Chain A
């Protein structure tokens, strides 16, 4: 059974204090590791897709990296507007269907001014 585990569950940082969120996965035939951002009362918003170990992608203060067992979302010098829940999801082989995506429970990030 595919599993995606995110840690920590919650993280409180001061503005400008860099940190990393972890996503550990056991997904058969990984076809993509996704990161989403979710604001309160909203739907998840796509951030990145990573396909192979060693791949990195960046967007503003965020950088996502991938190894064979984990993905990290690095947040550099965060601002209060980066406060959100960050979701990780692994897309595994599903026998040709479209139901191979497994979501983690998310990391609730709070950036204090």
Chain B
């Protein structure tokens, strides 16, 4: 049982480049989330989805876009990467809005 899988695990970008992070879950969860984790700060919610075809903004959505075309996948896009987006990104899923989160192993992104 794979749980939540994120690809890629590591990526280096130049300022202004674009990229997409892919998250896949095999638990049939309705809710999916993208967080970023920076040193000295707690996990911060970027965007989330309450079901296939839906997306909503979290605490720090600027500079990111998301899509949930299939229930099992949640994509996070950076259209024009900035050094401030250097971070570790975690995808998570949950069965309910108030249930425990299942996290992926993270994607470490460096923007030069």
Contacts from A to B (Cβ < 8 Å): 4, 31-32, 34, 36, 41-46, 49, 87, 89, 91, 94, 97-106
Contacts and interface: CB of A to CB of B under 8 A. Distances in A.
Interface of B: 4, 31, 33, 40-45, 48, 50, 56, 58-59, 90, 92, 94, 97-98, 100-106
Contact of B43 (A32, A45, A46, A87): A87
Contacts of A97: 48, 50, 56, 97
B42 A105 contact: yes
Contacts of A102: 42
A98 B43 CA distance: 15
A31 B97 CA distance: 10
Contacts of B43: 44, 87, 89, 103
Contacts of A91: 98
Contacts of B97: 94, 97-98, 100
A99 B105 CA distance: 21
A45 to B, nearest CB: 7
B42 A103 contact: yes
A43 B31 contact: no
Interface centre among A34, A44, A100 (most CB of B within 10 A): A44
Nearest to A92: B98
B52 to A, nearest CB: 14
B98 A31 contact: yes
Given A31-B98, A98-B48, A98-B97, A45 B103 contact: yes
Contact of A42 (B33, B94, B100, B105): B105
Nearest to A97: B56
